[in-house]
DNA sequence: TTAACTGGAAAA
DNA sequence: TTTCCAGTTAAC
């Protein structure tokens, strides 16, 4: 106060810089109060989605647009606004002439960037997903819009002229393996938007078909978004697309923030209209989206791990529905979720042409039943029935051979040799393991050594190792086929490619199977691929106590079998009477999905029924359940202990009550947030329990 | 962060 | 009944 007046009077200052700054600030403040900022002449009200992190405030709030921001404050831009005393981030989602709000409106503080990063179509999909997953728009926005990178935004736009769509003449021969395939293509090319479940034929040609579907959509002037499980698939598809649709981009989740934002802007600005990527790409703002594709939707990596845990298939479904685009759910093995789309009439199916499959490969089962194990010396010593041994030996002479062996840790690692009951620790019931071939069995939990183990069920003293890692399998196979070059892929040493030559024996865990051919090279013909594929220990893949074991096992087997060359043989080692193995032998993805769905229906399990989980401290979950208005016909299971001092409740409803359940859960989240209750983690449609 | 609102107790 | 205060709630 005194120092200010001193300055006004022009007398000497003690701290000149500081005093001058204070005076300046005071004058600015005064000026602001005297002349309130001018408001934009047209549509002065901005609708803003404010990121408060609070579920009950997850909606738009109105702000005034200062005249200075009139041109930049367009729908989709990031803004800063004052919200209950704090500066918070938000997205401007609309402009209008007036507000419904009867209080005073605060002005926008700042338009953070002129880029309209939140496109209205993407917002529409987010609204839908927020309802479906009882989640907040804010959480979904974090998944949909990458963090801003100012430097990248200022980079000059490299304008590459878009390549004209390819002529239909180049599509000959594609989609012959599926009933209704050509019709689907014609619909895409003609600008229509079919929704289809595609049973992709085995062989490396599936991505060639996919490429043609992309080209057909481009020919109608529309954009395409393809979501694949991992970066290897993205690279392979990108390679396939290079010929027909060179103008595409691969969005990489593992790229740095700058590259991610650069690619995002290229898509946003319409520089590229064909996008490939993993699940985080499912929100990419592709211009004039004509086709959304999810490849291998049964792969668990399509499940988002951040709230509200949307599945990429559901994100693409929302995108296709709100943008009126086509949707293709494609895989070698049909998921039960895809089957629901078929069953409910949402999607038409593109089933396999039986004769086409028969010309591509033959599948057999080598019975490793107890009976044949006793007769077959090979099976006893190396888990490899004679039939499999002979197939590998013969096929190695023609080309590379793939042996798929279940991943370590699928099941307890030691079991009774005779009755196969898992071996457990006498002290703590933990699973027994072998650290090395020469050490005695040791408990994986408490470390107790048990060198005098005997089976508690049958008294037998012999142990077998049902889960043999790819390391030991490769040793065994190396001994069985001394001339072969053994290549191992799995764990953290995944091999993408393997050379196309006879004598190469690949041992891989499910999902880590290398593709035959060179890294930057397309399959040269339908004859590229493994000469044979052997699936070991199939009973083990079916032994997991998981709701989706069967569909997951068939998916992993079919994906491995699909890497074969035309005319190859596939042999599964397992029980010939098992229905899932029979579906593999008949190559019947649709029938298996239908039977699995029927089983789930009779067991009231998803996706035939729909469920949601609520997790949290016992008190929080209890409060939540009191507040939750469950729809009629709902069953509440639990609470059951879940992790350290947390419990979980499962709410199950008939399929038709899914939306009602989601809406009750959304209401619950808003109520909880408004009352500041302890957090509860809610997951709608969790893939497994 | 803060203004507006609520409800209960004290003052009139 | 009015006034005051503390705690709660909405938040543009």
CA A70 to C1' B1, whole Å = 28
What is the greatest pairwise CA distance in chain A?
A: 111
Is A104 or A47 the better-scoring residue by pLDDT? Answer: A47
- C-beta of residue A528 within 8 angstroms of C-beta of residue A500: yes
Q: Is the pLDDT of residue A398 over 90?
A: yes
Taking all atoms of strand C, which protein residues have CB closer than 7 Å?
A 54, 57, 61-64, 82-85, 99, 101, 103-106, 674-676
CA A284 to C1' C9, whole Å = 38
Q: Nearest nucleotide, C1' to the C-alpha of A107?
A: C12
Within 7 A of a protein CB, which nucleotides of strand B?
1-2
Q: Band of the pLDDT at A329, cuts 50, 70, 90?
A: very high
Q: What is the value of pTM for the model shown?
A: 0.86
Is A479 or A189 the better-scoring residue by pLDDT? Answer: A189
Q: Band of the pLDDT at A525, cuts 50, 70, 90?
A: confident
Q: Kindly give the pairing relationship between strand A401-404 and strand A530-535.
A: parallel
CA A527 to C1' B11, whole Å = 98
Supply A273's token pair.
């209209």
Cα–Cα distance for residue pair A125/A137, rounded to 1 Å: 10
CA A83 to C1' B2, whole Å = 11
Detail the DSSP E strand segments found in A509-654.
515-516, 530-535, 564-574, 609-616, 635-641, 647-654
SS3 (DSSP) at A378: helix
Secondary structure of A613-651 as H, E, C letters: EEEECHHHHHHHHHHCCCCCCCEEEEEEECCCCCEEEEE
CA A675 to C1' C8, whole Å = 10
- Report long-range pairs for A189-193 (Cβ below 8 Å, ≥24 apart): A189/A216, A189/A217, A189/A219, A189/A220, A190/A220, A191/A220, A191/A221, A191/A222, A191/A290, A192/A326, A193/A290, A193/A291, A193/A320, A193/A324, A193/A325, A193/A326, A193/A327
Cα–Cα distance for residue pair A570/A198, rounded to 1 Å: 22
Question: What are A603-651's pLDDT values in tens digits?
Answer: 999 999 999 999 999 989 998 998 898 999 999 998 999 988 899 999 9
**pLDDT for the residue numbered A3:** 34
Taking all atoms of strand B, which protein residues have CB closer than 7 Å?
A 84-86
Q: Nearest nucleotide, C1' to the C-alpha of A83?
A: C11
Query: Quick one: average pLDDT of A269-296?
Result: 97
CA A84 to C1' C9, whole Å = 12
Q: Is the pLDDT of residue A237 over 80?
A: yes
Comparing A194-203, A405-414, A630-639, the range with the smallest average pLDDT is A405-414
Q: Nearest nucleotide, C1' to the C-alpha of A102?
A: C12
**pLDDT for the residue numbered A641:** 93
Q: Nearest nucleotide, C1' to the C-alpha of A63?
A: C12
Q: Band of the pLDDT at A78, cuts 50, 70, 90?
A: very high
SS3 (DSSP) at A140: helix
Q: Nearest nucleotide, C1' to the C-alpha of A84?
A: C11
Question: What are A476-516's pLDDT values in tens digits?
Answer: 788 889 989 999 998 878 899 999 999 999 999 999 999 99
Q: Nearest nucleotide, C1' to the C-alpha of A103?
A: C12
Nearest residue (Cα to C1') for B4? A103
Q: Is the pLDDT of residue A471 over 70?
A: no
Within 7 A of a protein CB, which nucleotides of strand C?
9-12
Is A25 or A295 the better-scoring residue by pLDDT? Answer: A295
């Amino acid at each position: 106060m005194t120092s200010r007046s001193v300055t006004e009077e022009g007398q000497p200052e003690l701290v000149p810089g500081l005093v001058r700054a204070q005076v300046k600030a005071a004058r600015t403040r005064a000026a602001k109060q005297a002349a309130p900022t001018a408001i934009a002449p047209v549509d002065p009200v901005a609708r803003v989605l404010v990121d408060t992190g609070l579920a009950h405030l997850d909606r738009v709030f109105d702000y005034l647009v200062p005249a200075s921001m009139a041109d930049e404050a367009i729908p989709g831009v990031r803004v800063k606004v004052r919200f209950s005393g704090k500066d918070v981030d938000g997205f401007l989602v609309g402009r209008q002439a007036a507000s419904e709000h009867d209080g005073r409106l605060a002005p926008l503080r700042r338009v953070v960037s002129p880029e309209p990063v939140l496109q209205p179509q993407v917002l529409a999909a987010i609204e839908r997903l927020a309802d479906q997953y009882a989640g907040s728009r804010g959480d979904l926005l974090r998944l949909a819009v990458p963090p801003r990178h100012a430097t990248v935004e200022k980079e000059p736009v490299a304008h590459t002229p878009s390549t004209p769509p390819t002529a239909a003449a180049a599509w000959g021969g594609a989609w012959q393996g599926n009933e209704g395939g050509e019709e689907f293509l014609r619909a895409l090319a003609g600008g229509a938007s079919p929704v289809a479940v595609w049973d992709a034929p085995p062989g490396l040609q599936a991505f060639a078909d996919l490429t043609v579907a992309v080209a057909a959509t481009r020919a109608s002037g529309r954009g395409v978004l393809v979501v694949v499980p991992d970066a290897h698939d993205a690279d392979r598809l990108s390679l396939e697309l290079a010929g027909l649709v060179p103008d595409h981009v691969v969005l990489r989740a593992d790229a740095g923030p700058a590259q991610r934002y650069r690619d995002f802007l290229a898509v946003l600005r319409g520089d590229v209209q064909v996008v490939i990527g993993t699940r985080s790409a499912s929100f990419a703002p592709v211009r004039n989206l004509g086709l959304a594709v999810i490849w291998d939707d049964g792969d668990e990596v399509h499940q988002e791990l951040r709230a509200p845990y949307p599945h990429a298939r559901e994100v693409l479904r929302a995108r296709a529905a709100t943008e009126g685009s086509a949707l293709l759910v494609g895989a070698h093995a049909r998921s039960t979720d895809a089957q629901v789309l078929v069953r409910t009439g949402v999607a038409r199916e593109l089933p396999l042409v039986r004769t086409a499959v028969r010309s591509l490969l033959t599948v057999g089962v080598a019975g490793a039943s107890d009976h044949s194990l006793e007769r077959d010396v090979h099976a006893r010593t190396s888990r490899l029935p004679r039939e499999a041994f002979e197939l590998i030996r013969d096929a190695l002479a023609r080309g590379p051979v793939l042996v798929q062996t279940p991943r370590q840790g699928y099941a307890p690692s030691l079991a009774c040799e005779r009755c196969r009951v898992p071996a457990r620790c006498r002290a703590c019931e933990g699973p027994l393991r072998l650290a090395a071939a020469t050490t005695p069995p040791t408990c994986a939990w408490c470390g107790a050594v048990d060198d005098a183990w005997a089976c508690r069920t049958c008294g037998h003293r012999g142990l077998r190792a049902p889960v043999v890692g790819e390391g030991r399998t490769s040793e065994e196979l190396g001994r069985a086929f001394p001339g072969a070059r053994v290549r191992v892929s799995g764990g953290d040493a995944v091999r993408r490619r393997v050379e196309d030559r006879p004598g190469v024996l690949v041992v891989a865990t499910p999902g880590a199977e290398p593709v035959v051919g060179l890294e930057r090279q397309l399959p040269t013909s339908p004859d590229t691929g493994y000469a044979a594929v052997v699936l070991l220990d199939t009973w083990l893949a079916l032994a997991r106590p998981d709701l989706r074991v069967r569909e997951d096992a068939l998916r992993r087997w079919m994906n491995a079998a699909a890497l074969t060359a035309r005319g190859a043989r596939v042999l599964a080692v397992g029980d010939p009477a098992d229905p899932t193995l029979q579906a593999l032998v008949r190559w019947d993805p649709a029938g298996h999905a239908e039977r699995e769905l029927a089983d789930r229906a009779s067991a009231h399990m998803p996706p035939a029924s729909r469920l949601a989980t609520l997790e949290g401290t016992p008190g929080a979950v209890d409060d939540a359940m009191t507040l939750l208005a469950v729809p009629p016909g709902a069953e509440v299971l639990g609470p059951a202990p879940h992790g350290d001092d947390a419990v979980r409740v499962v709410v199950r409803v008939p399929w038709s009550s899914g939306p009602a359940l989601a809406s009750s859960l959304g209401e619950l989240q808003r109520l909880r947030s408004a009352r500041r209750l302890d957090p509860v983690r809610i997951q709608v449609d969790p893939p497994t329990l």
